[in-house]
Amino acid sequence: MRTLLLALCFVLLVGCHSAATVSGTFPPSTAAPTVATTPTPSPTPSPTPMIVSGTKLFHTPSDNIACVMSNEGGPLMARCDIGNRTWKAPPKPKNCPLDYGNGVLVEDGKKGTYTCAGDTVLHQGDAVPYGQKLRMGVLGCDVETTGVTCTNDATQHGFFISKTTVRLF
């Protein structure tokens, strides 16, 4: 009984003490810790292919490779000439009376080949940005920093040309 009486006195004494004002919320709100995040870059979409017709002359931003795509006056074709290169063309064939191997060519239905030409398409047409694809029917040319690839989608024939490499297929 004595313990109960002491407990009751303690409660009364504490209850009579002046109350302190407390402001805020319960439970106390704390801001979530901020975590620095690096935004995830979204992939760069491929540019919409540039649809061309007739005769289209174009060159790379470096101006080292220039090309023509055409479906006028002959079979569908793509030709690219190059100014500076480290690769060598094979020996000139006897049936080529003009300059040989300064560029490459793919004609509809044929495999890629070296050019036999008395002219050049260098320094003509519009600069096409790297990453751009040009389309003329089944023929497509991709302009990349590594070089230019032109492929006939129907036959899978074409070429790749760059300063250091040429590939015919």
Note whether residue 4 is domain-resident.
no
Cβ atoms 145, 157 nearer than 8 A? no
Q: How many domains is the chain built from?
A: 1
Detail the DSSP E strand segments found in 12-165.
50-51, 55-59, 65-70, 77-82, 99-107, 113-117, 126-127, 133-136, 139-144, 147-152, 157-161
Note whether residue 145 is domain-resident.
yes
pLDDT, tens digit (0-9, with 9 covering 90-100), for 61-81: 999 999 999 999 999 999 999
Q: Which residue range is the domain that position 128 belongs to?
A: 50-168
pLDDT, tens digit (0-9, with 9 covering 90-100), for 15-47: 444 444 444 444 555 555 555 555 555 555 566
Note whether residue 128 is domain-resident.
yes
Note whether residue 69 is domain-resident.
yes
Q: What does pLDDT average to over the chain? A: 83
Note whether residue 83 is domain-resident.
yes
Which pTM was predicted?
0.73
Note whether residue 107 is domain-resident.
yes
Q: Which token pair is 77? A: 């074709």
Which helix (H) or strand (E) segment is 11 a member of? helix 2-16
Note whether residue 72 is domain-resident.
yes
pLDDT for position 46:
63
pLDDT for position 29:
53
pLDDT for position 144:
98
* DSSP line for 132-154: -EEEETTEEEEEETTEEEEEETT
Note whether residue 143 is domain-resident.
yes
Cβ atoms 64, 163 nearer than 8 A? yes
